[in-house]
Amino acid sequence: MGLVALLLAVFVLLWFLPARWAMPWLQARLNGVQLQDVSGLLWDGKAGSVVTPKGENLGALQWQLSRAALLGDNRLHVELHGPRLDFAGSMSGRQATEATWTDVQMRVDLDVLGKGPMVLGGWPRGTLRATAARIELRGGWPWSLDTQVQWQAAELRTAALGPLAMGDLQADLHAVNGVIEGHLQDDGHGPLRVDGRLQLSPLARRFNAVAAPRGPHPELQSWLTAFGTTDADGVTHINYSGGLAAAIRGEKR
């Protein structure tokens, strides 16, 4: 009877475990990110602020974790809302790298990235928005997905050419069996005209596109020439391939 009572007490404690009691265990798994002003239960909790290792407050966090996690079946719904970042989505799976996310919505002010990382020779700025009905991860890589991405007020801040405004860009991305394919284009009104196709996998990357400034933008034209051949009409033809598969093909040649 004593053992039964002990097991019952442990079960009740876990069932109603306050979120703040679990913080030492959680903090060790957040790579330096701090949850502050934590309230509620481990299974249905809130954090008044999520602070990065650099001390930036990303916003307020809410989560609901199924108690089936006690049996290894993790079902998590999370929402993070702040001035620079919004994220909402539901995850199921036994571990983060082998999980399925559903109903994902994200908004990121790219100023949150600071001075890194560099993309296409500059630091990206603007607002990145993404929506996805379902993303299946295997080994941390999207094995299947169907998502729409928008880069609003897109800008690259380069050291040599200064800020390069590109307008609004959008991409539709789809993945089957770990191969991501997508169509990238502009909205038809911004400084950059681009229409391209991309393909990504753990072994290869490919991007084919035609791009040109819309109107007189000499600095944008100069930036584009680094990525392909520019014809007499000022249109740059980009044909890029890379990754392990491309390197193996190059060695065979």
- Could you tell me if 57 and 48 are in contact, meaning their C-beta atoms sit under 8 angstroms apart? no
**Res 150: pLDDT:** 97
Euclidean distance between the first and the last CA atom of the chain, given in angstroms as a whole number? 75
Res 125 pLDDT > 60 = yes
Q: Are strands 123-138 and 74-81 parallel, antiparallel or unpaired?
A: unpaired
Range of weakest confidence among 3-12, 118-127, 173-182: 3-12
CA 107 to chain centre: 10
Res 118 pLDDT > 60 = yes
Res 245 pLDDT > 60 = no
Q: What is the pLDDT of the chain when averaged over all its residues?
A: 87
Alpha carbons 82 and 85: distance in angstroms, whole number: 5
**Residues with Cβ within 8 Å of residue 134, at least 6 apart in sequence:** 100, 101, 102, 144, 145, 146
Helix (H, G, I), strand (E, B) or coil at 95: coil
Alpha carbons 40 and 172: distance in angstroms, whole number: 38
Q: How many CB atoms lie within 10 A of CB 56?
A: 14
pLDDT tens column, 230-241? 999 999 999 998
Place of tokens 């990357």: 205
- Could you tell me if 167 and 185 are in contact, meaning their C-beta atoms sit under 8 angstroms apart? no
Read off the pLDDT of each residue in 6-13 and give the average, rounded to a whole number: 59
**Mean pLDDT: which of 11-15, 25-29, 187-191 is highest?**
187-191
Alpha carbons 233 and 240: distance in angstroms, whole number: 21
Contacts of range 11-19, beta carbons closer than 8 Å, 24 or more positions apart? 14/70, 15/67, 16/41, 17/41, 17/42, 17/43, 18/42, 19/45, 19/46
Res 251 pLDDT > 50 = no
**Res 248: pLDDT:** 43
Helix (H, G, I), strand (E, B) or coil at 77: strand
